[in-house]
Amino acid sequence: MDSRDLSPDSAAARERDKNWGKIGHPVQSRGLSPKDKTPWFTLVATGALCLILGRVFLTLQRNYEQDFWQQPNPRRAGGQAVALNATAAVPTLAEAVTGNHATSGKVTLIAGGVATELDASCGAEVNLDLDGFAVSWGLDFKTKTAAECCEACRTHKRRDDGKQCNSWVWCPEEKCWSPDIWDHKYQECWLKVQDDPRSPKINHQGAFPAAFRQEHKTAPEKTPWMAGVLVQ
């Protein structure tokens, strides 16, 4: 042990600092400056811990969000899908799923200010956000067009538990607002399952009511999503 006075202002301390960096200096072999307060391995361990905690947080956040999407929507009455806007009907969607709508040919819809062409069998409607069990998350899956999203649902492989995509939701705008924790962006494609395609579950449709927008200050005037139920 060095018995010399090593206080910051002592001659021995000044000599020690002066010699720092020279070959053979006793502390150089440890790779630490005499003034270092935090060893490198502590910094590495702290960084690794932060990464682990961050990953755990994101996992918990994702699980919470998955439960949010899969649980029943309180805006449904008696198990039937209802629109947030009480004055809005669901003519296009209703016609599609009841068979009173063209099942062949092409339809053109304006979404996000752009004309979008889809097969009539996609049952597409603008300003519509469908609920339902998600077999593919849009956060991880994007398609260039709504038509490709519809086709991805049509060709989606049936799961081992028997669930098979029969409805889709696509984001046609730069950002698609939703009352959840995620930042939904352009071209997100959500593939979902409707237990009864003729009575699809609806999250939001058409214009948001004034009371809803007062509660959710960042909500736009209308539901930005477009969606559809595959016509059988």
pTM for the model stands at 0.58
Tokens read off for 127:
């300003």
Digit-by-digit pLDDT tens for the chain (232 residues) are 455 554 556 666 666 656 554 444 454 444 445 455 556 667 777 777 877 877 766 665 555 554 444 444 333 322 333 333 333 333 445 444 444 455 567 888 877 778 888 889 999 999 999 999 999 999 999 999 999 999 999 999 999 998 999 999 999 999 999 988 888 999 999 999 999 988 999 999 999 999 999 999 999 999 999 999 997 6
Q: How many residues are listed for the chain in this entry?
A: 232
- The DSSP secondary-structure symbol of 99 reads T
CATH fold of the domain at 91-229: Hepatocyte Growth Factor (3.50.4)
146: CB partners within 8 A, 6+ apart: 109, 111, 116, 118, 122, 124, 170, 172, 226
